[in-house]
Amino acid sequence: MSQHHRLRPAAVASAAAVVVLALGFTGTAHAAAPATAATHSAGSASGDPGQPDNPLYDAPESFRADSGREAVSLSWSSLSAATAYEVHRAEAEGTEPDEVGPYALLDTVSTSSYADSDADPDVEYAYKVRALDDAGHVSPYTEPRRGTRDTVAPFAPRELTRTAQDERGVTLTWRTGDSDAVKYVVYRAESPNAQRVKVGSTTSLTLRDTKGEPGRLYSYEVRGVDAVGNESTPSNYVMGTRTVTAGTPPKAPAIGNAQLVGKRLTLSWSQSPYVPISSYTVYRSKTSPVDMTDPANRVATTTRTEYTGTVGEGEGERDYYYAVVATSQHSVASPASASVKPAYTEPRPPGATQIYEVTPGAGSVRLSWYVPPSDGGDAPVAGYRVYRSTKPQVTKENAEVSYTTSSSQYLDRGLTGGTKYYYAVAAYNEDGLEAALSPEVSASPTS
């Protein structure tokens, strides 16, 4: 209810009666007795004599109807005397305020807002609201407002054109498509059929993409968006790319693997190919992100996308973070990669191998075996030990002879013809750890 004071009809009638009676005492006029409450409504907005003191003599204020895709959203200002509000709806039949169908009660609510999600799509409706209280009083209706559950998208923009491409970005322009779009959204993709990424939005008919990766060719399209968020189908697409110059910095490397196995550190990363790279620099520090301002934190420079090194065994040597910076062929540095702390695992021996070929000869036996599989963080295989015995079930402990070799085959010479020899092989790595023995094989050399 409005806070300003209004005279009610009964008060006005009583005042008029007092004036007339006063005139009657002067002998210039005579008046009948004042009307009673039985014959006049005392402040009832509806004129109902059963509601003598209606506190709801104002309609709810600030009533509005906002169109949307999912619902028409209604809102109004609360009345302090109201306990509920009736929402009425009619189908709009023309553009004039009175060109509407019959109103019907849509709902009764206790709040000062309502979402009409049951409205038929793309049909314009007129809405009005009145307030109620617990005594059965009602307020006047608000002025009608119109709204639509709008599901119709704008027409697609037309004639998308790339008007410029340089080191600053790709500039696009287009025409509206003669639609009700209130803004435009520009998308790009790495190819016309790839996943789209939103570049930005604008209310004008031009946009420059300054964030595309230099050297990468993108496909661009634009879509119109109306006031309720409906998005049009795409425009035609155009291709464009930011130009790579001598001053273009490379993209930051992306570290994909960081392992510390015993003392062996392994890092590997990927790099965007669009800016040619001359080298990579590896940094480390005890903090993240890695501090690259201190020359002491520089670990190594390499032309490869991987680095392998040995970490000391002192306290805290496993607590470093690592980052990589790429440098272009024009000596422009990239941003640093993300700082990573390598996952530590205890060193492991190589996996067991298997002898796949045994060839006896004159006083000799030739053996060939597989190189055991290796995890990227494991120490490389440094060599193999060949164990030999004249008795079966050869072990490292009972072997009569053992030889070392860096090759995956071995020719055992100086053997006695007709004697059966038993063999097993074990690989060992650069950490000095030796694998389990391969399955045993046997052979008898000829004389």
Residues 304 and 430 in one domain: no
Q: 63 with 129: CB under 8 angstroms?
A: yes
**For residue 11, what is the enclosing H or E element?**
helix 9-26
Q: What is the DSSP letter of 68?
A: B
Is 207 contained in some domain? yes
pLDDT band at 374 (very low <50, low <70, confident <90, very high): confident
Closest residue by Cα to residue 221 from 187, 174, 194: 187
Q: Which of 240, 275, 290 is the last residue of a domain?
A: 240
The answer to the question of residue 229 being in a domain is: yes
43 alpha-carbon distance from chain centroid: 59
Model pLDDT for residues 256-287, shown as the tens digit of each residue: 999 998 888 999 999 999 999 999 999 999 99
Instruction: Quote the tokens at residue 83.
Output: 């306990």
Where does residue 217 fall: left (phi above 0), alpha (psi -120 to 50 degrees), or beta otherwise? beta
**Hey, how many other C-beta atoms are within 10 angstroms of the C-beta on 95?**
8
Q: Are residues 40 and 138 in the same domain?
A: yes
Note down the domain range covering 283.
254-345
Q: Is residue 247 situated within a structural domain? A: no
124 and 179 inside one domain: no
Q: Are both 428 and 309 inside the same structural domain? A: no
Within 8 A by CB and 6+ apart from 386, the residues are: 367, 402, 403, 404, 405, 410, 412, 423, 425
- Listed as own residue / partner, the contacts of 48-51 with beta carbons closer than 8 Å and 24 or more positions apart are 51/135, 51/136, 51/137
What pLDDT was estimated at residue 52? 53
In a domain, 143, yes or no: yes
Q: What is the pLDDT of residues 192-242, one digit of tens each?
A: 889 999 999 999 999 999 999 999 999 999 999 999 999 999 999 999 999
| 64-111 pLDDT tens trace | 999 999 999 999 999 999 999 999 999 998 888 778 889 999 999 999
Same domain, 84 and 132: yes
Q: Which of 49, 15, 50 is nearest to 34 (CA)?
A: 15
Residue 93's nearest CA partner among 124, 128, 67 is 124
- 249 within domain boundaries: no
> Is residue 46 over pLDDT 80?
no
**Does one domain contain both 320 and 210?**
no
How many whole angstroms separate alpha carbon 383 and alpha carbon 378? 14
Please indicate, yes or no, whether residues 258 and 113 belong to a single structural domain of this protein.
no
Query: Judging by DSSP bridges, how do beta strands 238-240 and 218-225 pair with one another?
Result: antiparallel
Task: Examine the domain organization and report whether 359 and 381 are in the same domain.
Answer: yes
Kindly state whether residues 145 and 60 are assigned to the same domain. yes
Of 324, 345, 366, the residue that ends a domain is 345
Does 245 fall in a domain? Answer: no
pLDDT digits (tens, 9 = 90+) for 116-130: 999 999 999 999 999
The verdict on 228 and 300 lying in the same domain is: no
- The contacts of residue 118 (CB under 8 Å, 6+ apart) are none
Same domain, 268 and 400: no
What is the distance, to the nearest Å, from the Cα of residue 429 to the centroid of all Cα atoms in its chain?
44
Find the DSSP H helices in 287-423.
none
| % of the chain beyond a pLDDT of 90 | 77
Return the percent helix, strand and coil in the chain, to nearest 5: 5, 40, 55
Inside any domain, residue 246: no
> Structurally, how many domains does the chain consist of?
4
Residue 315 shares a structural domain with residue 387:
no
The residue from 345, 376, 400 where one domain ends is 345
pLDDT of 13 strictly over 60: no
The CATH number assigned to the domain holding 95 equals: 2.60.40.10
